[in-house]
A and B are shown apart, each in its own frame.
Chain A
Amino acid sequence: MNDDIILKTVDLTKHYGGVHALQGANFELRRGEHVAIMGDNGAGKSTFVRQITGVEQRTRGEVIFDGKPVHFDGPLDARRAGIETVFQTLALADHLDVPDNLFLGREKTKWDWLGPFRLLNYKAMRQDTLDALEKTGVKIPNIRNTIQNMSGGQRQCVAIARTATFHSKLTIMDEPTAALGVQETAQVENIIRTLKEQGEPLILISHNMRQVMDLVDRIVVFRRGRICANLRKEETDGQDVVAYITGAKTQPEYEVAEAV
């Protein structure tokens, strides 16, 4: 096993009843590498991510994370192992404020002998929140604001700051800028660059060609539930990628899989 590889999937497959949403995906991600996953709607991008993060249970195949085969029972399991995910639907609680959301499900507490009624350590969480936001360069006017009073960009930044806060081994973002304006998108992209500088590996699902070309090292294209291309950024361009997405081209090593 190569120590350099943080995540590897072998023959990862997911069927929803008769629908083959994901077929035999072999994927590798090196430490510090940023990889984009592209593909049409329904190509299996989100399904692929859901199998890795344990949101769904795979039909077949293997996931090897950090050198060990893993089988996550749920997203919390994956998170404990060090995989942080920014979901397509923002996983934020609207009525809670920024520290509450950042620490949701892993609150800093005191008096732990009280069990479910253990006390929240608001002060520590507030300070950590400020540190985390500073680290990622996220600007939020007042962290005591509840999420419902924030713009889409601020929400997305909170969601991303959450993943960046906890020194994850792998970050996954599912279309983080799909609903954002130009400036907000730029802010999110800046955070992604910060992650790159810190050497944290990232899987980015995105439809935005410019963004992908700007940010990542490698592009993996999904089509109809299969991987159809694995392209280094320097060796490809937008038109080439589109050709793979639409099905005009398929890389030779993935041809076999295409014959159905």
Chain B
Amino acid sequence: MADTSHGIGGLTYDKSKRSLPNELNIFLALVIIVVIFEILGQVLPYMNNQSFLFDTRGRFDSIFNEARLQIIILQVAIIGIIALGVTQVIITAGIDLSSGPLVAATAMIAMSFAQTELVNGFPNPKALFGSWAMDLPVIIPVVIGLTFGAFIGFINGTFIAYFRIPPFIATLGMFLVCRGIALWWSGGNPISFPTEGYAWIGSGMMPVVWFVLLAIVFQLIMKYTVYGKHTYAIGSNEDAARMSGINVRRHKVTVYMIASTLAAFAGIVLSSKAVTAQAGMGEFYELFAIAMAVIGGISLQGGRGSIIGTVLGAMVLGVIRSGFTYIKLDGSYQLMAMGSIIISAVILDQYRQRNKA
């Protein structure tokens, strides 16, 4: 019975035995995709030996085609901010479909408190409220917008955690409600001409700055705090989490509130970047945000995934989009190809997980 007489011999904490992080695979995929586009640029007859990644015409100081890199990351930054929240929701084995319309609704609401009284010396033609809501300090529309987002998230979370509505249904309902709010807020009219302060939030590369900052903050939170650990635990085994004394319901509400607040912030950044707010904004954003998380190796069953993965997933999506434009692929083909890539990513990931287990 040698096997049952125990000693410390079998106990190890061996750092070297840690398996490689899943994120490495996504990073490799990103590199491979870039290389493919680089090769296509050389090979395709109509491309005239262009380079996807590098600066071949001496336009920039560095060797890279900075303009393209900027556009790639700028394109994904705003949806990326949403994806940071969606990632946390999916890790709890939930889903959030309401983020796209929430972006539009928040954009409308925040922008209506961020308008200037005078445009080129004339009264603001798009003014929604009277002069009491004009030229307010930038903090006011931002706080109003974020509070609205947190409130929507609170309702989502409450219905899901306390009334046991499946997340898909609860957030699908909120999807429609938010789109309705966006239309109703100004009767369908666009809201424009924000104050300088508000316009700064999404100006230039600011969306990228926000995206990177928030990604770092939430990566640290998910990895090093009790909040993060409990989020993973709930997605991994909700019963175990409950029996371990985690207040699962309250935690879920918090997660949905954080996700919706992030989506609301994306709405603020988007309206600031576009210098206008329209009820139709943010179409399909919720789906692209989910796609980013999925490409980033998240499991819709919960318990698995990471913020870094989602950031890489966002980059993959951005590179693919930019790359398709680069090789002059028609927009309709782009959508088809992107859809196929998302599905392939999941198939690959599942295959890899099965082999690992």
Chain A residues near B (Cβ < 8 Å): 55, 74-76, 79-80, 85, 87, 89-96, 100, 104-107, 109, 114, 116-120, 126, 130, 133-134, 137-144, 148-149, 183, 186-187, 190
Contacts and interface: CB of A to CB of B under 8 A. Distances in A.
Contacts of A118: 225-226
Contacts of B304: 95
B245 A105 contact: yes
A94 B303 contact: yes
Given A95-B304, A139-B6, A186-B4, A75 B225 contact: no
Contacts of B6: 137-139, 187, 190
Nearest to B3: A183
A148 B240 CA distance: 14
B344 interface: no
Contacts of A92: 237, 240
Given A104-B246, A116-B227, A117-B225, A190 B4 contact: yes
B4 A79 contact: no
A104 B241 contact: yes
Given A75-B243, A142-B12, A148-B357, 12 more contacts: A91-B244, A95-B236, A104-B246, A116-B225, A117-B221, A118-B226, A130-B13, A134-B11, A137-B7, A139-B6, A142-B17, A190-B5
Contacts of B18: 144
B20 interface: no
- Top 5 nearest A-B pairs (CB, nearest first) are A76-B245, A105-B244, A137-B6, A139-B10, A105-B245
Interface string B58-72: 000000000000000
B328 interface: no
B303 A95 contact: yes
A119 B224 contact: yes
Contact of A187 (B4, B235, B244): B4
Contacts, number: 117
A109 B237 CA distance: 22
A191 B176 CA distance: 56
Contacts of A138: 6
B254 interface: yes
A134 B8 contact: yes
A117 B226 contact: yes
B90 to A, nearest CB: 13
21 contacts: A80-B245, A93-B232, A93-B237, A93-B303, A94-B237, A95-B236, A100-B229, A104-B241, A105-B241, A117-B227, A118-B225, A119-B225, A120-B224, A120-B225, A120-B226, A134-B8, A138-B6, A139-B11, A144-B14, A144-B17, A183-B4
A188 B322 CA distance: 57
Nearest to A139: B10
Contacts of B312: none
B259 interface: no
Interface in B278-337: 303-304
A116 B254 contact: yes
Contacts of B232: 93, 95-96
A241 B356 CA distance: 46
Contacts of B17: 142, 144
Contacts of B15: 144
